[in-house]
């Protein structure tokens, strides 16, 4: 399992080793000990989620406020997505910047999206199954979002806006500059 820091170093791309032969393949998709050794802090994942979507579905950009903030470990079981993590930690050198990575069933890559980031993805092919672990339970009262099309974020979702399929909630999220519901870069959100 290889861990690669992205252009925003707190967002980590995980490249597992796939062992394949004529029978199929085997892949170790998660090792807490190796991940925590690489990161230098503990993560206690408590919930697994899965969604199935058609091409053009865009989910995000979502996050939860402290004390319900979540780290996500995301991957694709079937199909392809463009996965995006946006730094929403005020005073961070990368505040408002994003990482965009294609995750697909062939490369089996995963993305670790830490607390303090908004997360979203757009589905690039039909019947895509997306799965992720979180280290805090879903909390409706702490659920927040950022508008996917915020010009200041400059995210290229790779699919024309006219072809995107969004929830009613995701169509009306605030822009990053229109919300005070963001994280303080100087606070360690893993000390709870």
Indicate which residues carry an active-site annotation: 62, 132
Positive/negative CA dihedral, 53, 59, 64, 69? positive
Q: Answer yes or no: is 64 a known binding residue.
A: no
Q: What are phi and psi of 64, to 5 degrees?
A: -125, 145
Q: Answer yes or no: is 110 a known binding residue.
A: no
Q: Answer yes or no: is 175 a known binding residue.
A: no
SS (H, E, C) 166-178: CCHHHHCCCCHHH
Q: Answer yes or no: is 23 a known binding residue.
A: yes
Q: Answer yes or no: is 47 a known binding residue.
A: yes
Q: Answer yes or no: is 188 a known binding residue.
A: no
Q: Answer yes or no: is 119 a known binding residue.
A: yes
| Residues 122 and 82 sit within 8 Å (Cβ to Cβ) | yes
Which of 98, 48, 107, 118 shows the shortest CA–CA distance to 80?
A: 107
SS (H, E, C) 13-68: EEECCEEEECCEEEECCCCHHHHHHHHCCCCCCCEEEEEEECCCEEEEEEEECCCC
Q: Answer yes or no: is 48 a known binding residue.
A: yes
Q: Indicate the annotated binding residues.
A: 23, 28, 47-49, 59, 72, 119, 143, 165
Q: Indicate the annotated binding residues for substrate.
A: 23, 28, 47-49, 59, 72, 119, 143, 165
């Amino acid at each position: 399992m290889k861990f690669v820091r992205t252009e925003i170093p707190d967002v980590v791309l995980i490249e597992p080793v796939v062992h394949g032969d004529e029978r199929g393949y085997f892949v170790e998709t998660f090792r807490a000990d190796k991940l925590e050794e690489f990161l230098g802090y503990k993560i206690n994942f408590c919930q697994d989620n899965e969604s199935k979507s058609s091409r053009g579905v865009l989910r995000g950009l979502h996050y939860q406020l402290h004390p319900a903030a979540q780290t996500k470990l995301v991957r694709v079981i079937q199909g392809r997505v463009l996965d995006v993590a946006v730094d929403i930690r005020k005073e961070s050198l990368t505040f408002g910047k994003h990482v965009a990575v294609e995750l697909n069933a062939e490369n089996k890559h995963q993305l670790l999206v830490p607390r303090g980031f908004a997360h979203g993805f757009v589905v690039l092919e039909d019947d895509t199954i997306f799965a992720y672990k979180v280290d805090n339970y879903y909390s409706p009262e702490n659920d927040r979002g950022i508008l996917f099309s915020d010009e200041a974020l400059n995210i290229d979702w790779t699919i024309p806006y006219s072809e995107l399929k969004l929830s009613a909630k995701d169509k009306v999220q605030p822009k990053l500059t229109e919300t005070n519901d963001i994280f303080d870069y100087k606070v360690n959100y893993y000390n709870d």
